[in-house]
Amino acid sequence: MTPYEFRHAVRNGTFRGPTAGHCGDFAQANLAILPEAQAHDFLRFCHANPKACPLLGVGEPGDYRIDTLGRDLDIRTDVPAYNIYREGRLAERVESLKDFWQRDFVVFAIGCSFSFEAMLAREGIPLRHVEEGCNVPMYRTNIANRRAGVFGGELVVSMRPMRGADAIRAVQITSRYPGVHGAPVHIGAPAELGIENLEHPDFGDPVTIRDGELPVFWACGVTPQTALMAARLPLAIAHAPGHMLMTDIANTSLAVF
Amino acid sequence: MTPYEFRHAVRNGTFRGPTAGHCGDFAQANLAILPEAQAHDFLRFCHANPKACPLLGVGEPGDYRIDTLGRDLDIRTDVPAYNIYREGRLAERVESLKDFWQRDFVVFAIGCSFSFEAMLAREGIPLRHVEEGCNVPMYRTNIANRRAGVFGGELVVSMRPMRGADAIRAVQITSRYPGVHGAPVHIGAPAELGIENLEHPDFGDPVTIRDGELPVFWACGVTPQTALMAARLPLAIAHAPGHMLMTDIANTSLAVF
């Protein structure tokens, strides 16, 4: 299936569920939608925290079509599940935004680690959470995001354990893809990030760390979601975790060198 | 002083001693000189082990001038001190090769970590052995070099401790310079390389490793020297440790991207 076909399968209800593993050569995106009144602050927040919030695209106010992300894409119907937040709390999970759309909504599409994981896997670097069939472990850190208006909070990181030589290769590979979180932000001592126990992630699932392996930490797309919730906006919308927006952007096209 | 002026200061005896810290923007080189009979094997050895033996230049048999390394360069006189090895043992240390030169000698100039250390320092990454005013610690590993003819042995690595975020940046920076050892070969667990105790390097000096720091290991230019000695050639010449060949090659010109 092409991303175009995939989006139409979502739109007409044929496909529901998490998007991991589908259309593997194409970028999937984290989605954030908020009223124009807060959109400028959020855009500045993303710009100031590019490792956690690498923007793949931003829509014109009111537009639910963003051609740069995909042909004939309709942001109201093409994501398998949406979370609607009111005052920072999950109010509803829906499968379409047609009844919720506002003329002042601004759409943000933020790069996702699925893209760089595809590149790592292609180069033979094992991903423990994939081997163990669970979600990648994610942790809140004590590293403050750069604040912009009402948006602040702390960086959230994902963690992938690997041997030293693989960690070096992973730095090289992911450095090429700043649009999908880029290079890791830290290797080794979790205490440097304020993480006390790797066995108890704040999001996702714990994974095995073997002898001689190092924890490698990447900035995570959950960061903008937590910032969005912490800002307690009257209304904000995001994709439901794991239910991403499928774009027409080839992962390979994101390489900067 | 320009590298040209520096070489002439060495040639006329004005400068003697270690070359670290001189002409910081230019590449210094490890030197190996051996008879043509073994030169092809050694060239194949360097080619097969490029991280430890990145070649900056190879002379024509008999030539002591190598224009690609430096203007008016004379390999017989422009290095502050030479070690002469016979049957793999240090036989003599001399300040000129004029009395030793043979028409079948082939010169090998091999990239040196001084170049990438300059790049790391320029980007604000602290180097512990520089801070502590000693030589970088180096270790024999259990990683076999690819054998070529009489040349084999094990990889020797240098080690620089740093915090995780600096290690990531160091991978990015040194990856650009494969001509001077390139990216690290390992980060973290020394046991993975067969190194038992970081406090007892095989060459150089031990350095402090602070809490939260990782040991970062690079392939080291001592590797070809140990391979040369282990081969027990009737005659081989190298620079005396720390007394390198100054070239006209700007470090910045070695960046591959």
| β-sheet with B213-219: strand ranges across | B138-144, B154-163, B213-219, B186-187
Q: Which two tokens stand for residue A213?
A: 């392996």
Across residues A6-15, what is the average pLDDT?
98
Q: What are the backbone angles phi and psi of residue B42, rounded to the nearest 5°?
A: -65, -40
Q: What are the backbone angles phi and psi of residue B200, rounded to the nearest 5°?
A: -125, 75
Q: Which two tokens stand for residue A227?
A: 């910032």
pLDDT of residue B175: 96
pLDDT of residue A257: 85
Cβ neighbours, 10 Å, residue A217:
26
Q: Which residues from A are below 8 Å from B186, CB to CB?
A: 164-165, 168
Whether A167 sits inside 8 A of B187 (CB atoms) is yes
Whether A214 sits inside 8 A of B214 (CB atoms) is yes
Nearest CA in chain A to B188: A164
CA–CA dist B79, B74 (Å, integer): 9
Confidence of residue B225 (pLDDT cuts 50, 70, 90): very high
Q: Checking phi first, is residue B55 left (phi over 0); if not, alpha (psi -120 to 50) or beta?
A: beta
Listed residue (B149, B115, B156, B138) closest to B47, CA to CA: B149
Radius of gyration of chain A (CA): 18
Is the Cα torsion angle A123, A128, A130, A131 positive or negative in sign?
positive
pLDDT per position as a tens digit, A123-144: 999 999 999 999 999 999 999 9
Tokens 């390198």 belong to residue: B244
pLDDT per position as a tens digit, B9-20: 999 999 999 999
Whether A185 sits inside 8 A of B167 (CB atoms) is no
**Residue A184 in contact with partner chain B when CB distance is under 8 A:** yes
Q: What are the backbone angles phi and psi of residue B211, rounded to the nearest 5°?
A: -55, 135
Task: Look over chain B and give the mean of its residue pLDDT values, rounded to a whole number.
Answer: 96
pLDDT at residue B257 tops 90: no
CA–CA dist A144, A44 (Å, integer): 15
Q: What are the backbone angles phi and psi of residue B12, rounded to the nearest 5°?
A: -90, 10
CA distance B227 to chain A (A): 23
pLDDT at residue A155 tops 90: yes
Across residues B96-118, what is the average pLDDT?
96
CA–CA dist B229, B227 (Å, integer): 5
Cβ neighbours, 10 Å, residue B82:
22
Please classify residue A152 by burial: count the beta carbons closer than 10 Å to its beta carbon, then call 0-12 exposed, 13-18 middle and 19+ buried.
middle
Q: What are the backbone angles phi and psi of residue B110, rounded to the nearest 5°?
A: -115, 135
Provide, rounded to the nearest whole percent, the portion of chain B with pLDDT above 70.
100
CA–CA dist B159, B181 (Å, integer): 13
Measured CA distances, A192 to A137, A214, B200 (Å): 17, 14, 27
pLDDT per position as a tens digit, B112-132: 999 999 999 999 999 999 999
Structural domains in chain A, CATH included, are 3-112+232-250 (3.40.1640.10), 114-223 (3.30.2040.10)
What single-letter amino acid sits at A34?
A: L
Q: What are the backbone angles phi and psi of residue B51, rounded to the nearest 5°?
A: -70, -35
Across residues B234-241, what is the average pLDDT?
96
pLDDT of residue A201: 97
Identify which of B185, B217, B257 has the shortest CB distance to residue A257: B257
Confidence of residue A242 (pLDDT cuts 50, 70, 90): very high
Whether A192 sits inside 8 A of B212 (CB atoms) is yes
Listed residue (B63, B215, B218) closest to A188, CA to CA: B215
**Residue A167 in contact with partner chain B when CB distance is under 8 A:** yes
**Residue B187 in contact with partner chain A when CB distance is under 8 A:** yes
Identify which of A168, A185, A212 has the shortest CB distance to residue B183: A168
Measured CA distances, B4 to B69, B70, B78, B254 (Å): 11, 7, 10, 19
CA distance B165 to chain A (A): 5
Number of A:B CB contacts under 8 A?
A: 71
Task: Look over chain A and give the mean of its residue pLDDT values, rounded to a whole number.
Answer: 96
β-sheet bridge partners, residue A160:
A216
Cβ neighbours, 10 Å, residue B230:
14
Whether A187 sits inside 8 A of B214 (CB atoms) is yes
Across residues B132-151, what is the average pLDDT?
96
Confidence of residue A196 (pLDDT cuts 50, 70, 90): very high
> Which helix (H) or strand (E) element contains residue B130?
helix B128-131
Confidence of residue A17 (pLDDT cuts 50, 70, 90): very high
pLDDT of residue A8: 98
Cβ neighbours, 10 Å, residue B17:
11
CA–CA dist B119, B115 (Å, integer): 7
**Residue A173 in contact with partner chain B when CB distance is under 8 A:** no
Across residues A2-11, what is the average pLDDT?
98
pLDDT of residue B5: 98
Q: Which residues from A are below 8 Å from B191, CB to CB?
A: 212
Helix locations, A12-154, DSSP H: 36-48, 113-122, 128-131
β-sheet bridge partners, residue A110:
A30, A55
CA distance B166 to chain A (A): 8
DSSP states of A12-48: TTS--S--TTSSTTEEEEEEEEEEHHHHHHHHHHHHH
Contacts with B, A 108-127, CB within 8 Å: none
Across residues A185-198, what is the average pLDDT?
97
* Helices (H) then strands (E): counts for chain B: 6, 11
CA–CA dist B204, A192 (Å, integer): 29
Q: Which residues from B are below 8 Å from A217, CB to CB?
A: 164
Across residues B182-203, what is the average pLDDT?
97
